[in-house]
Amino acid sequence: ILRRQKLFRSHFRNASLFGKEYKEDHMTNLTPRIINNLGNHKHRIPNHPIEIIKNEIYKYFDQSSTSFAKFEELSPIVTVEQNFDSVLIPKEHVSRDKKDNYYINEELLLRAHTSAHQVELLRKGESSFLCCGDVYRRDTMDRSHYPIFHQMEGPRKLFIRGSEKVENDLKRTLEGLVKHLFGENVEYRWMDEYFPFTHPSFEIEVFYEGDWLEILGCGIMEHRVLVNGKAEDKIGWAFGLGLERLAMRLFDIKDIRLFWKSEVVQEQFQNFTGDFRQFKFVLPERKIEPAKFDLAFWVPEGFHEHDFYDIARNIDVEDAIENVELIDVFTHPKTGKTSHCYRTFYRGALKGLQFKDVEHIDSAIRAALQEQGAGLR
Ligand code: FA5
Ligand code: MG
């Protein structure tokens, strides 16, 4: 296990986050890649598609009779208590797992959702608000997943307890938002969901170019969250949505890496007219197929698929990897050792790659795996 943490810890030791030093421990799993991008968020960059969608959502809520306070500069460094306990996520819940989150140490992590700020804002006496920020999750590697993305949380629109209109208000407001973004004729559906902090809970899916796409989670706030927020005499609802998901659909952005290619994105969105339903992002045509590299190894103890993706992302700072598939898992009948085989697809989001660069990344990934105790096959 000590070996496994080497990659993370050796780099973390000298790192400070926003100029402050933090103690490291057995939970520390931040990588240099993430540390270097901390605070490099997109929701406050003028004409960035994430900022455009954010403003469009603001516009919708600003039309209503209630006024919404806006928060978009809260630090992404939150306590375990904020991210999980304050919103009633049980102590043993899988979503707390180290394989899914970037921990600074056992007390602090990079927020995995903007719901981490619900209780904090309630306690300040806020009642209707929108809270936007960068969130961090260890996850798979493909065209729709990136370890940093943006969420918008809100509004905790509070009513006097006992009001029956809450669920109607939630549905009416969010249906209005969906129509505002996707147009009056949008096809959408309500799905039942589960979140520890809301009950009942729902998701909205939008039918867009042939697919049902989950765009937000929401529900009536659990009483205990309101108690934590010192608003126990109230009742209200909340939602959380992913800005990349919306931007990808609305602007036809087919690869999530493009949000990080600032110059190109900026250049195209400079001509944005404000009519976001007419505007499409134009990707230069690419005829090349991705280059495929397979890598098989005996996994060190406690190794998780997400560890591979994090190692790859840490090395692939220019985002040459389009996606990775775990194509084979096998346990040796005699030794009991487990082997994983990953297929990595290399292709730049914008331009072609040099074969030597790809080989360079591939061998660096191999070296990093070996350093963590993986037995290459
Ligand atoms: C949440 O994060 C809840 N905090 C949402 C919520 C808030 C529910 C308030 C109730 C009340 P979830 O993990 O499903 O839920 O993410 C919410 C939205 O974020 C998703 O609907 C999706 O639009 C977006 N999202 C989630 N994971 C990713 C990802 N890996 N990449 C891009 N967008 C994502
Ligand atoms: Mg969800």
The per-residue pLDDT for range 96-118, each reduced to its tens digit, is: 999 999 999 999 999 999 999 99
Instruction: Assign 8 a pLDDT band (cuts: 50, 70, 90).
Output: low
Q: Summarize pLDDT for 153-162 with one digit per residue, the tens.
A: 997 777 776 6
From the CA of 213, the nearest ligand is: 1
Measured from the CA of 246, which atom of ligand 1 is nearest?
23
What structural domains does the chain harbor? 33-269 (3.30.930.10), 284-376 (3.30.70.380)
Judge whether residue 4 has pLDDT over 60: no
pLDDT range class, residue 1, cuts 50, 70, 90: very low
pLDDT of residue 161: 66
pLDDT of residue 350: 87
- Of all protein residues, whose CA lies closest to atom 12 belonging to ligand 1? 217
Residues 6+ apart with CB under 8 A from 39: 18, 76, 134
Structure confidence at residue 239 (pLDDT):
97
Ligand 1: which of 54, 93, 149 to mutate, judged by most atoms within 8 Å of the beta carbon?
Answer: 149
The residue whose C-alpha atom lies closest to atom 7 belonging to ligand 1 is 240
Which pLDDT value is given to residue 318?
Answer: 93
**Mind listing the pLDDT tens digit for each residue in 304-345?**
999 999 999 999 999 999 999 999 999 999 999 999 999 999
C-beta of residue 150 within 8 angstroms of C-beta of residue 134? yes
- Of 269, 337, 231, the closest CA to residue 42 belongs to 269
Write out residues with Cβ below 6 Å of ligand 1. Answer: 113, 115, 137, 139, 145, 149, 151, 153, 195, 198, 214-219, 238-242, 244-245
Which percentage of the chain shows pLDDT scores above 70?
94
Mutate to test the pocket of ligand 1, among 117, 216, 239, 256 (most ligand atoms within 8 A of CB): 216
Give yes or no for a contact between 167 and 190, defined as CB atoms under 8 angstroms apart: no
Q: Which two tokens stand for residue 332?
A: 């040796």
Average pLDDT rounded to a whole number, residues 337-363: 94
- Is residue 258 helix, strand or coil? helix
CA 177–ligand 2 middle distance (angstroms): 18
Task: Tell me if residue 17 falls in helix, strand or coil.
Answer: strand
Q: Quick check: 287 pLDDT over 90?
A: no
Distance 34 CA to ligand 1 centre (A): 20
Q: Is the dihedral of CA 324, 326, 328, 330 positive or negative?
A: positive
Compute the mean pLDDT over every residue in the chain, rounded to the nearest whole number: 91
Q: Give yes or no for residue 149 having a pLDDT over 90.
A: yes
Say if CB 286 and CB 254 are below 8 A apart.
no
Q: Inform me whether the pLDDT recorded for 75 exceeds 50.
A: yes
Q: Is pLDDT above 60 for 272?
A: yes
Lowest mean pLDDT among 123-132, 149-158, 213-222, 265-274: 265-274
Q: What is the pTM of this model?
A: 0.93
Higher pLDDT, 14 or 368: 368
The whole-number pLDDT of residue 13 equals 54
d(CA 91, CA 108): 15
Predicted interface score ipTM higher than 0.95:
yes
Asked whether residue 135 carries a pLDDT value surpassing 90, the answer given is yes
Ligand 2 centroid vs 251 CA: distance in angstroms?
Answer: 22
Task: Give pLDDT, residue 14.
Answer: 52
Please tell me the distance between residue 296's alpha carbon and the centre of ligand 2 in angstroms: 32
CA of 142 to the centre of ligand 1 (A): 17
Percent of all residues in the chain with a pLDDT value above 90, rounded to a whole number: 75
Closest ligand 1 atom to residue 240 Cα is: 7
pLDDT score of 235 more than 80:
yes
pLDDT at 296: 97
> What is the pLDDT confidence band of residue 86, given thresholds at 50, 70 and 90?
very high
**Stretch 189-208: mean pLDDT, rounded?**
95
190 to each of 20, 44, 215, 247, how far by Cα in Å? 44, 31, 11, 21
Q: Which ligand minimizes its atom distance to the CA of 236?
A: 1
* Residue 101 contacts residue 108 (beta carbons within 8 Å): no
| Residue of 170, 57, 46, 69 lying closest to 120 (CA atoms) | 69
